[in-house]
Amino acid sequence: MKITVELQDNYSYSFWPVIVCILAVIGAFIVTFLVAKAVKKIKSRPPKKTWQSLTDGEKNELRIKYYKLLEELLQKVQGEHISLRHCYQKLSKYVREFVADLSGVKVNKCTLNDIKQMNMPVLASLIEEFYEVEFAEVSVGDAEAAIAKTKRIIETWN
């Protein structure tokens, strides 16, 4: 007499969820590694050069860069390709970026009051003049004179 036992498996298993979970864990490790590496790289960067550490050549290159931007802006004004308000907004942006590039102080992200508190009276005065045109209901100003004044400040900033 022979006895046969049949085992019947009523469950069907799929390995796809297991594979997806394993890949997700591996992916998380890779992303964590890459983020940690990027953070380490950012922390190891040398500090941005400040005005005192820039060479005369580097200072002149920055002056030339912003002088060219102002020349392009002047051409747009003279060709009537830009509104007075937009011109003054650009002037404010350029002079702030220039000072930030030279000094390392992020004045491009500061309010007028912040700049006044930083003891930068020339910059504060200029920005205040720009605000009058930028934020007035009806903008009235002399764009060419403002560009010339901004050029003088860039040329003489130290």
User: What are the tens digits of pLDDT across the range 22-31?
Assistant: 888 998 889 8
Residue 147, in any domain of the structure: yes
Q: Which ranges of the chain would DSSP assign to H, the alpha helix?
A: 16-43, 56-78, 84-103, 112-117, 121-134, 143-156
Residues 6+ apart with CB under 8 A from 147: 70, 73, 74, 77, 87, 91
Q: pLDDT at residue 148 above 90?
A: yes
- % of the chain exceeding 70 in pLDDT: 85
Residue 4, in any domain of the structure: no
Q: Residue 47: its pLDDT value, please?
A: 45
Residue 92, in any domain of the structure: yes
Residue 34, in any domain of the structure: no
User: What are the tens digits of pLDDT across the range 72-110?
Assistant: 999 998 898 999 899 999 999 999 999 988 888 888 888
69 is in which domain, residue-wise?
Answer: 51-156
Residue 25, in any domain of the structure: no
Residue 59, in any domain of the structure: yes
Residue 130, in any domain of the structure: yes
Q: Report the domain count for the chain.
A: 1
User: 49 or 14: whose pLDDT is higher?
Assistant: 14
